[in-house]
Amino acid sequence: MNSHRTLLESNGTAPSSVLSDPPHPRLFRAFGAMLLDAWREFLDAKILFLLLGLIGLLLAVALTGRVEPLPSGKNYLDLSARAMAANLDGVDLARETVADMAGRLNGSVVWIAKAEPLGADLPDGAWSVELKRSFVPVAAGPLPPEDVRRKFGRIADGQLWNVRNVAETSDTLGRNLGMQSFQLTVDPGPDLRLLWPHQFSLFGDAFDLTPPRGAPLGLEVLILQKLLTTGLGGSLLLLMAVVVTAAFVPNMIRKGTLELLLVRPLPRWLLLVMKYVGGLLFVAVLLGLLVAAAWLISGILANIWSPGILLALPSLMLFFALLLAVSMCVGVITRSAVAAMLVTVTYWAVLFIAGQMHNQVVESRFREENVGKLRPTSVVDSLRGAKPRREEPLKAGRVPFHRTLVGRVTEWVYAVLPHTEDVDTLVDRQLMRDLAVSGPFRALVERAEFSWSRGVGLTLLHTLGFLLLACMVFSRRDP
Amino acid sequence: MSRLQALAVSVNRLEKRYGDLAALAGVSLEVEPGTLFGLLGQNGAGKTTLIKILLGLVAPTAGEASLLGEPVGRLAGRREVGYLPEDHKLPEYHTAPSLLHFYGALQGLTRRERLARIPFLLELLGLKGREKLRIRGYSKGMKQRLGLAQSLLHRPRVLFLDEPTDGIDPVGRKQIRDVLLEQQRTGVTVFINSHLLGEVEQLCDRVAIMRRGHLLVSGTVAELTPTKPTWLVGFETPPAGGLRWEGCQLEAAERPGLWRVHLDASAPDSLDRFLAQVHRAGLRLRHLEAERATLEDLYLTLATSDRQAP
């Protein structure tokens, strides 16, 4: 003991508590050190600053944008009147759209005879409206003003208007003949602004991104948020993260570096897992910045602060957790950053293609089941003046995709692959509900099946599998 | 035997095979605590494999190895050892203090302990004043010294150093030798792998030589380098022609101006008689040195022979 004590004292510091420490603080300390190390390595790859710069640039470009409402009050009053011709009671607004109302017609026709804005023709202005209703006395009775108050402004996409006051102006004779008229004052409803067509342009007015009649604000925000996060922006960031983190493991297990780690009093698998969590956390910070930027941008531009887009973070993280596990596994086996990067990107491409092909299978099956039925329409369609279309049967002799061999193989393969886009679907659903987006996109998203075990469980299972393999190879190999 | 009195290193008939290749073919070795031990051998002799087995980094194929009385490979045992690998590559994105904090934390040192220990080590190894420089900008010698610093960080009781003075200038070598001697003085066992024979001879108390997985010889430097029955002499004015005297003969040595004289080792007064003859011949002596076998002699003999371990 003497010799040991002399060493401790000769360096003039307090005796080491290493031997008496309980294991947990030591593990936390080691974990903290690995995180810090991963952070340094991440910072060292200058790509991080490039990423932050890109996010900043994105923010700057987005802030040059202008979102301006277009006059559209009459359109939306019309739409509300037409919707009164259908019985919307008990309709699931998340799943059914205007087109689905066909079977719910209540034997009446409702239209706007006259409408005057009380202020400007903007999504925050009130209107004075003269409403006419014609009905078949045998099929439908007169509508009491209270029902008009309850029904007017409600369309499948959301609540356009709130009726402030309503008075019936028709006389008994008219009512008996099937003619009613009402005088209403309406205020903007909670969803009016989201559904109101807006013009969206970048760099002042220089670069107009919307069609001449504009697009509903909610849809514009949805597209913007998706583009920045789960779409192009997120994919680019993930790709860069894959490139940066691909070198993590090969650098760590380089001869001459690995020994310096393995000689520490920590199990090998733990070193690898700590490195994994470190990489994950720093990419989470980056993705968090991106998602926050998307939320800020849409908030500042459109004054829509609904937090649904924040769900994109766990979705992106889940996907990156899988990619990082693949990359680490390949890195451990091959010791090559390039191989780790290439295999990971290839794996990603396989998942993407399998997902796309599976979508085709789902589409094909849906089409077959719904031949002759109306396709969903939305406010966007009605803005364009489009008539609802019906699902058309396939040309004679063509086999639906889901019945072909490729389609079947696709389904089998897809059944065992991670379903990362399922989680995206969950995000889309939330966004579309928040932003009152309907129509074919919405129908597609609502139609897709989602289960936690498949959407999240399968992805986690694959992630764990790759990690486990990496740990096994790493633990068994001689340095 | 208590743990602290146990042998620092004990290896018994240790074998390591990679397929048909025997990196270690039955090595037995013991190192007492507090020894500065030098393991010599050519590249591929099995020195590094032996160290890696002792550190628990590589599993042996057969045989036993223990460190401070405990079987190798236990996590707790790693708190007692420091290691400087050969051709180490320190992560280049670190600075010296950040790297030492990183390794220290993995080793289990608290922040307070590290804050006290790191400046001390940087100063000790002459790295003070370079705290902000990334390792990327370090010279080979600086990297080597930083590598040594990380091995000393947690005050290990056994230090394994694989080629510690490789690529270091003479001043740096002296500095490292001093550090190692100081470690030994405080009771640390230092186990050095090297092919720098002079260095090992100068530094180590005990030496072993390995060749192709076998341990050929092991002992103190004095044991392995016995004195020879020859002396080197130099004269102020060289004698003309070869000299031949009673009981001895002078021949020109390899070093210029020196002569080698073989004296009868069994006669205790042979040197006195030789000096008397020099005096009688009217020559004035200015150099007299007893010749020893060097480690190099032994090493070259063993390395080129086909001798196997006993």
Residue B117 belongs to some domain of the structure: yes
Q: Which residues of chain A, if any, have pLDDT below 70?
A: 1-23, 87-105, 376-388
| Claim to verify: residue B131 and residue B96 sit in the same structural domain | yes
Beta strands in chain B (DSSP E): 9-18, 21-31, 36-41, 62-67, 70-71, 81-84, 158-162, 189-194, 206-211, 214-220, 227-235, 244-245, 248-252, 258-262, 285-292
Residue B253 belongs to some domain of the structure: yes
B198: burial class by Cβ within 10 Å (0-12, 13-18, 19+)?
A: exposed
β-bridge partners, A286: none
Of B112, B120, B187, the CB nearest to A7: B187
**Last residue in a domain, options B175, B193, B218:** B218
Per-residue pLDDT band for B156 (boundaries 50, 70, 90) equals: very high
Beta carbons of A259 and B85 less than 8 Å apart: yes
Residues 195-234 of B with CB under 8 A from A: none
Neighbours of A54 (CB within 10 A): 15
Residue B4 belongs to some domain of the structure: no
CATH at B263? 3.30.70.1560
Rounded Cα–Cα distance for residues B141 and B134 (Å): 15
**Last residue in a domain, options B218, B251, B275:** B218
Asked whether the beta carbons of A309 and A295 are under 8 A apart, the reply is yes
pLDDT in tens, B163-199: 998 878 888 888 899 999 999 999 999 999 988 888 8
**Among A233, A419, A400, CA closest to A312:** A233
- Mean pLDDT over B288-304 rounds to 82
CB pairs under 8 A between A and B: 131
Beta carbons of B110 and A17 less than 8 Å apart: yes
Residue B42 has pLDDT above 80, yes or no: yes
Chain A residues within 8 A of B103 when measuring between CB atoms: 260, 264
Question: Which residues form the domain of B129?
Answer: 9-218
pLDDT value of residue B244: 67
The alpha carbon of residue A41 is apart from the nearest alpha carbon of chain B, in Å, by 6
| Claim to verify: residue B177 and residue B250 sit in the same structural domain | no
The alpha carbon of residue B223 is apart from the nearest alpha carbon of chain A, in Å, by 27
| Claim to verify: residue B46 and residue B165 sit in the same structural domain | yes
| Claim to verify: residue B33 and residue B158 sit in the same structural domain | yes
Chain A residues within 8 A of B79 when measuring between CB atoms: 18-19, 265
pLDDT in tens, B207-255: 999 988 999 999 998 888 877 888 888 888 877 656 666 667 778 888 8
Rounded Cα–Cα distance for residues B260 and B263 (Å): 10
Q: What is the ipTM of this complex?
A: 0.85
Beta carbons of A19 and B55 less than 8 Å apart: no
pLDDT value of residue A104: 62
Residue B76 belongs to some domain of the structure: yes
- Give the chain B residue nearest A4 (alpha carbons): B187
**CA distances (Å), B261 to each of B227, B233, B235, B247, B274, in order?**
14, 7, 13, 10, 9
Beta carbons of A259 and B106 less than 8 Å apart: no
Chain A residues within 8 A of B109 when measuring between CB atoms: 16, 18, 29
Rounded Cα–Cα distance for residues A312 and A293 (Å): 12
Q: Which of helix, strand or coil describes residue A449?
A: coil
Q: Which of helix, strand or coil describes residue B247?
A: coil
The alpha carbon of residue B204 is apart from the nearest alpha carbon of chain A, in Å, by 19
Rounded Cα–Cα distance for residues A60 and A64 (Å): 7
pLDDT value of residue A22: 57
Question: Which is it for strands A207-208 and B36-41: parallel, antiparallel or unpaired?
Answer: unpaired
Residues 86-115 of B with CB under 8 A from A: 86-94, 98, 101-113
Least confident of A76-80, A126-130, B55-59, B109-113: A76-80
Interface test with B, best of A27, A260, A262 (most B CBs within 10 A): A260
**Among B162, B128, B158, CA closest to B146:** B128
Chain A residues within 8 A of B86 when measuring between CB atoms: 256
| Claim to verify: residue B212 and residue B259 sit in the same structural domain | no
The alpha carbon of residue B243 is apart from the nearest alpha carbon of chain A, in Å, by 56
**Last residue in a domain, options B170, B197, B218:** B218
Interface test with A, best of B81, B90, B93, B162 (most A CBs within 10 A): B93
Residue B104 belongs to some domain of the structure: yes
Of B34, B98, B103, the CB nearest to A260: B103
Per-residue pLDDT band for B5 (boundaries 50, 70, 90) equals: low
pLDDT value of residue A9: 39
Beta carbons of B91 and A256 less than 8 Å apart: no
| Claim to verify: residue B54 and residue B183 sit in the same structural domain | yes
| Claim to verify: residue B259 and residue B176 sit in the same structural domain | no
pLDDT value of residue A23: 60
Asked whether the beta carbons of B292 and B228 are under 8 A apart, the reply is yes
pLDDT in tens, A423-434: 888 888 889 888
| Claim to verify: residue B206 and residue B73 sit in the same structural domain | yes
Residue B49 belongs to some domain of the structure: yes
Rounded Cα–Cα distance for residues A437 and B51 (Å): 67
| Claim to verify: residue B135 and residue B159 sit in the same structural domain | yes
| Claim to verify: residue B92 and residue B138 sit in the same structural domain | yes
Instruction: Check CB contact of B264 with chain A, cutoff 8 Å.
Output: no
Q: Strand order in B81-84's β-sheet?
A: B81-84, B158-162, B189-194, B36-41, B206-211, B214-220
| Claim to verify: residue B277 and residue B182 sit in the same structural domain | no
The alpha carbon of residue B130 is apart from the nearest alpha carbon of chain A, in Å, by 18
Beta carbons of A36 and B116 less than 8 Å apart: no
Taking the CA atoms of chain B, what radius of gyration do you get in angstroms? 24
β-bridge partners, A135: A108
Beta carbons of B106 and A255 less than 8 Å apart: no
Residues above pLDDT 70, as percent of chain B: 94
pLDDT value of residue A381: 66
| Claim to verify: residue B16 and residue B111 sit in the same structural domain | yes
Per-residue pLDDT band for B282 (boundaries 50, 70, 90) equals: confident
Rounded Cα–Cα distance for residues A280 and A403 (Å): 41
The domain tally of chain B equals 2
The alpha carbon of residue A408 is apart from the nearest alpha carbon of chain B, in Å, by 47
Residue B41 belongs to some domain of the structure: yes
β-bridge partners, B66: B10, B71
The alpha carbon of residue B75 is apart from the nearest alpha carbon of chain A, in Å, by 5
Taking the CA atoms of chain A, what radius of gyration do you get in angstroms? 30
Convert B173-189 to b/e letters by CB count within 10 Å (16 or more is b): bebbbebbeebbebbbb
Interface test with B, best of A264, A269, A335 (most B CBs within 10 A): A264
Chain B residues within 8 A of A12 when measuring between CB atoms: 116, 120
Of B83, B102, B117, the CB nearest to A13: B117
Residue carrying the six token digits 């400087």: B84
Entry field: residues in chain A: 479
Residue B310 belongs to some domain of the structure: no
Of A11, A34, A36, the CB nearest to B120: A11
Instruction: Check CB contact of B244 with chain A, cutoff 8 Å.
Output: no
pLDDT value of residue A475: 92
**Among B62, B10, B4, CA closest to B191:** B10
